[in-house]
Structure 1
Amino acid sequence: MNKVDPSKVVVIGGGPAGLTAAYELLKRSDRHKPVVFEAGRLVGGISRTETNNGYRFDIGGHRFFTKVPEVESMWHEVLGDDFITVPRLSRIYYRGKFFDYPLKLINALINIGPYESTRILLSYFKWQVRPYRKEENFEEWVINRFGGRLYMHFFRSYTKKVWGISPREIRADWAAQRIKNLSLFKAVWNALSGANDTASLIEEFKYPRLGPGMMWERTADIVRQKGGEVHLRSEVVRVNRAGSRVTSIEVKHWFEDGREPVIEHVEGEHFVNSMALRDLIHAFDPPPPPEVIAAADKLKYRDFLIVTLVLDHPDPFKDNWIYIHEPDVKVGRIQNFRAWSREMLPDQDTASIGMEYFCQQDDGLWSMSDADLRELASRELEHLGLARASDVIDAAVIRQPKAYPVYDSEYRAALDVIEEWIDSLENFQTAGRNGLHRYNNQDHSMLSAMYAARNILGEKLDVWNVNVERSYHEEFEVPRKDDAEAGATPSLAAE
């Protein structure tokens, strides 16, 4: 009896979604062969781990915790004993002082003072009596739950720093997705009672000992060992279709030695995408209808860069990360990579600090030279009183385009148009954060990819609404001991 040839499943993107789709297919079927094409030189997407002179660092911090059993299972299947347990500590730096996060009442009162604390409470009660009747944007959503005064201190300027637009331009559904059911009353109650039943404010989490990229490097190895393929420096530049069926892709392969890139034509039976929707729509040949292209052009993204600084002495602070609400510096968040894992540093007598900046590709920050960014980050670290600029002995800069999908006033209607058209394709699915234009955490990106893989095998699962029907972002529920841990990005920062 002849063995059935495996059908080729083309996977666009080698981040958490793309690699999870390939892993899930190989786990559940011996007939399908996934072939993954990743444009970058590393797998993992925004969850990759970069290195510089032996120092390892995240592209933003990535904690590993979830309420999704199949995601939890995959993590441990892939990494096993290479997970470590990390205590969680983060604070907010504002007006020259550190505020504990989550809120601790005495600390907050001392830092902000009794007069301003009273004004915050009065503002809160005012907005409880006369709230916005219809919450259309982020500002209205937050004020209804925290009052205008606290919003002014801890939400308005920082949210604009992260997203680059006024909080009035960010849709309320972003806040509802990221910080569901959060309120000032709940935060104060937690501070007074010592309770912490907010899922994303867990006191410890799992983390790969060599950074999150370790998870995806290992996953790529497993995919290859089981007969799949993972190609790096391989950019998908065209998606060919015949009517409602995708037939092939064109891949541009780049070479380290400077040779001219080569274009490869790759056919497949099924296709799973995780590249950004705006780029995807423009890659189709023939193009989608004009209204779909117009919708894609309305999708916006926030870009990101990190300046990693090596200091000539151990950690200047003990936190995993600090949110910088100070308006007179550009840095938005600061990571301390030893607080994630000691193995991220080759020299324990030094410190590895990640200065994170939220920006756009066409702005001044993005286009600054690496030398100028090192000087800026060193100067701001000193301005914040965390270390002297002269303590910096090495630095590296990583730029990440399209790090975060933006939930502005146009995105939802545009996404509905795109979703309807993509769903009309017979053998094509899209998954992941940018593949769905949804601000998912890593585990929900993985789950959307698992759904896409299972749909190829005959199931009918809704990939688009993974983190709606199985959401847990910042829910105030106490998980049972036998539940997997829940989580989301803390506060209003981007992950």
Structure 2
Amino acid sequence: MSEAQSQAINVDVAIVGAGPAGLTAGYLLTKAGKSVAIIERDETYVGGISRTVEHEGYRFDIGGHRFFSKSQQVVDLWNEILPDDFIERPRMSRIYYEGKFYSYPLRAFEALRNLGLWRSTMCMASYLWVRAFPNRNVKSFEDWTTNQFGKKLYSIFFKTYTEKVWGMPCDEMSADWAAQRIKGLSLMGAVIDGVKRSLGLNKKPNDGMQAKTLLESFRYPRQGPGMMWEAARDKIEATGKGRIIMGHALDQLASDGRGGWRMTAKGASGMVTIEADHAISSAPMRELARRMHPLPQSTFQTNELKYRDFLTVALMVEGEDLFPDNWIYIHDSKVKVGRVQNFRSWSPEMIPDENMACVGLEYFCFEGDGLWSMDDDDLVALATDEMRILGLLDPAKVRGGTVVRQEKAYPVYDEDYAANVATMRAELEDKYPTLHLVGRNGMHRYNNQDHAMMTAMLTVENIIAGSRVYDIWCVNEDAEYHEAGDEGAEKELPAREPGREVSDDQAAALNSMRDVPTRIVEDDADGDRADTRRAA
């Protein structure tokens, strides 16, 4: 419901944000008999970045969300909320470069074969050079990747896409991210493997990759991920214990001085006031800090937190599907698009007309920059032209388009983010034990949908227990979490406070951390640290 209330709403728990974390918390709390009120800034959609946007019958997934989790508890919750609407979909994604497709993850021997004799020779020469004369002072993503693959292969398959996504030059990104994300690929091993197979000496499907089983299929709601969160919303409201207040953004979150909270939310129809014993926030940490009363001492640090935004341009195209992939990574530097989604490959029910195709071009940007500020019609024209440049569609068959913008899609891990987050976390945990941060933006952690849900699930356990049983900051954020393994396989216990007893059915929340690009900070001539990040 979206109507404003003239009087205060009194509930057990007030929740900021109706994304996966906020709705998971609301669903489990109402199921346990707690009353909740959830405010959501969007006037129409729940689900946050996992929402499904509809335009003239076409449905768009904002980024692409596979429903796979190693946590059996998360899988069980998905099945409970949406028991009858999952379909099994084949997984296919490739890299596109100069008119050719390459497997993703990259298979080195295939890449060399597709590049042709001259480029392959140049790539191998470049690789052999760095093996003989490696960079001994590795600081950046560029240093590390060049050392592993040579300058030529790095420039083709790593540089362009990485800089598109993060808006930072590769020579200013941390080498740690490359070391974690680019695993299991040996260029020399791929070449030796290719020679053996050409002689019939090796028929194993290795191709230079270490043995690793990737997901070949995944479950997906038949009309997009928004189905899950719309169902959660409906179930919350059906209990009579929960209210979803749409079109209202957090205005202030004030401590009542007795351990409880007074939340005000502002919308087009007026102000809503919510009084609660506990508050859960999935709002961006920077925004929460600015709206708390009294202001946290750590507000200055959280003001420095940064986010990467993106937008999707959806094109409705006459004819059959253009390609079978769920999505394609675009590594060509001559276009701005970073990734292309094929919505029919996610689910045929996303497309209302079997004679039409629909693709979504993703542009990574910063809120307020040139791309973000372009008119929708200009963005549709840009996307159409870039698909023509790439040779992926005939512009004459484009029948329409629309634009969906997503603010704060990716929390940026720059040099100072960890210290800034730790400062606020320590202050809030010390002063406000009834305030709980959850989800990707709430914790400023680059996690997946199921990880965001798990932070909410453990927070609910803490609220019901009346104490901090679980440390939600230990929820798994492993970089390969979505790429390999068996659904529901993890049975390890989450991290918990010393001396606390926990139930055996809690799913894994392992103490690991995903690295993403960080700025390279070097000493200047005077020995002081100088930020070398260039403007995006």
TM-score by length of 1: 0.86
When structure 1 is superposed on structure 2, of 418-427 and 376-385 the one drifting more is 418-427
Q: Give the Cα separation in 1 of the matches to 2:450 and 2:193.
A: 27
Q: Give the match for residue 43 of structure 1.
A: 46
Q: What amino acid is the match of 1:154? A: F
Change (3 A) 1:61 1:376: same
Note if contact 2:37-2:274 (Cα within 8 Å) is conserved in structure 1: no
Q: Give the match for residue 458 of structure 2.
A: 451
Note if contact 1:174-1:407 (Cα within 8 Å) is conserved in structure 2: no
Q: CA RMSD in A?
A: 3.0
Q: What amino acid is the match of 1:202? A: L
Rg: which structure is higher?
Answer: 2
Q: 2:60 aligns with which of 57, 63, 72?
A: 57
Change (3 A) 1:375 1:472: closer
Q: Give the match for residue 199 of structure 2.
A: none
Q: 1:252 aligns with which of 266, 285, 297?
A: 266
Change (3 A) 1:324 1:14: same
Q: What amino acid is the match of 1:10? A: A
Q: Give the match for residue 3 of structure 1.
A: none
Note if contact 1:249-1:265 (Cα within 8 Å) is conserved in structure 2: yes
Q: Give the match for residue 280 of structure 1.
A: 288
How many residues are paired up?
469
Change (3 A) 1:136 1:265: farther
Change (3 A) 1:272 1:475: closer
Q: What amino acid is the match of 1:451? A: L
Q: 1:352 aligns with which of 328, 350, 358?
A: 358
Q: Give the match for residue 323 of structure 2.
A: 317
Q: Give the match for residue 530 of structure 2.
A: none
When structure 1 is superposed on structure 2, of 206-215 and 410-419 the one drifting more is 410-419
Matches within 5 A, 1:263-302: 263-289=271-297, 292-302=298-308
Note if contact 1:17-1:432 (Cα within 8 Å) is conserved in structure 2: yes
Q: Give the Cα separation in 2 of the matches to 1:382 and 1:242.
A: 58
Q: Give the match for residue 461 of structure 1.
A: 470
Change (3 A) 1:89 1:79: same
What does the per-residue CA deviation read over 1:201-256, in whole Å, with 9 as the maximum and x for residues that have no partner? Answer: 311111000001111101111111222222211211111125694521111133xx
Q: 1:209 aligns with which of 219, 222, 226?
A: 222
For the pair 1:103 / 2:112, whether they are aligned, the reply is: no
Matches within 5 A, 1:453-492: 453-458=460-465, 459-468=468-477, 471=478, 473=480, 479=486
Q: Which runs of 5+ in 2 are unaligned?
A: 1-9, 195-202, 492-507, 509-515, 518-536
What is the DSSP-based 3-state SS (H/G/I as helix, E as strand, rest coil) of the residue aligned with 2:473?
A: coil
Note if contact 2:91-2:216 (Cα within 8 Å) is conserved in structure 1: yes
Note if contact 2:289-2:295 (Cα within 8 Å) is conserved in structure 1: yes
What does the per-residue CA deviation read over 1:431-450, in whole Å, with 9 as the maximum and x for residues that have no partner? Answer: 11111111101111111111
Q: Give the Cα separation in 2 of the matches to 1:418 and 1:300.
A: 15
Q: Give the Cα separation in 2 of the matches to 1:220 and 1:122.
A: 58
Note if contact 2:160-2:333 (Cα within 8 Å) is conserved in structure 1: yes
Q: Give the match for residue 198 of structure 2.
A: none
Q: What amino acid is the match of 2:319? A: H
Q: Give the Cα separation in 1 of the matches to 2:16 and 2:162.
A: 32
For the pair 1:224 / 2:237, whether they are aligned, the reply is: yes
Note if contact 1:253-1:262 (Cα within 8 Å) is conserved in structure 2: yes
Q: Give the match for residue 204 of structure 2.
A: 193
Change (3 A) 1:58 1:264: same
Note if contact 1:198-1:477 (Cα within 8 Å) is conserved in structure 2: no
Q: Give the Cα separation in 2 of the matches to 1:60 and 1:373.
A: 17
Change (3 A) 1:478 1:442: closer
What is the DSSP-based 3-state SS (H/G/I as helix, E as strand, rest coil) of the residue aligned with 2:82?
A: helix
Q: What amino acid is the match of 1:464? A: W
Q: Structure 1 residue 294: deviation in Å?
A: 1.8
Q: What amino acid is the match of 2:215? A: I
Q: Give the match for residue 239 of structure 1.
A: 253
Q: What amino acid is the match of 1:228? A: G
Q: Give the match for residue 434 of structure 2.
A: 427
Q: Give the match for residue 20 of structure 1.
A: 24
What is the DSSP-based 3-state SS (H/G/I as helix, E as strand, rest coil) of the residue aligned with 1:287?
A: coil
Q: Structure 1 residue 388: deviation in Å?
A: 1.8
Note if contact 1:239-1:246 (Cα within 8 Å) is conserved in structure 2: no
Note if contact 1:181-1:474 (Cα within 8 Å) is conserved in structure 2: no
Q: Give the match for residue 412 of structure 1.
A: 418
Q: Structure 1 residue 413: deviation in Å?
A: 1.9
Change (3 A) 1:100 1:428: same
Q: Give the match for residue 311 of structure 2.
A: 305
Q: Structure 1 residue 110: deviation in Å?
A: 2.5
Identity %: 43
What is the DSSP-based 3-state SS (H/G/I as helix, E as strand, rest coil) of the residue aligned with 1:193?
A: coil
Q: Structure 1 residue 467: deviation in Å?
A: 2.0
Q: Structure 1 residue 476: deviation in Å?
A: 8.9
Q: 2:443 aligns with which of 432, 436, 441?
A: 436
Q: Give the match for residue 362 of structure 1.
A: 368
For the pair 1:113 / 2:116, whether they are aligned, the reply is: yes
Q: Give the match for residue 258 of structure 1.
A: none
TM-score by length of 2: 0.80
What is the DSSP-based 3-state SS (H/G/I as helix, E as strand, rest coil) of the residue aligned with 1:216?
A: helix
Q: Give the match for residue 524 of structure 2.
A: none
Matches within 5 A, 1:77-226: 77-104=80-107, 107-121=110-124, 123-124=126-127, 137-143=140-146, 145-172=148-175, 174-175=177-178, 179=181, 181-184=183-186, 188=190, 193-194=204-205, 201-226=214-239
Change (3 A) 1:472 1:95: closer
Note if contact 1:9-1:35 (Cα within 8 Å) is conserved in structure 2: yes
Q: Give the Cα separation in 2 of the matches to 1:480 and 1:354.
A: 28
Q: Give the Cα separation in 2 of the matches to 1:182 and 1:429.
A: 38
Q: Give the match for residue 14 of structure 2.
A: 10
Q: Structure 1 residue 26: deviation in Å?
A: 3.0
Q: What amino acid is the match of 1:439? A: Y
Q: Which runs of 5+ in 1 are unaligned?
A: 1-5, 255-260, 487-491
What is the DSSP-based 3-state SS (H/G/I as helix, E as strand, rest coil) of the residue aligned with 1:9?
A: strand
What does the per-residue CA deviation read over 1:157-211, in whole Å, with 9 as the maximum and x for residues that have no partner? Answer: 211111111134334555566x274443699499973258887831111100000
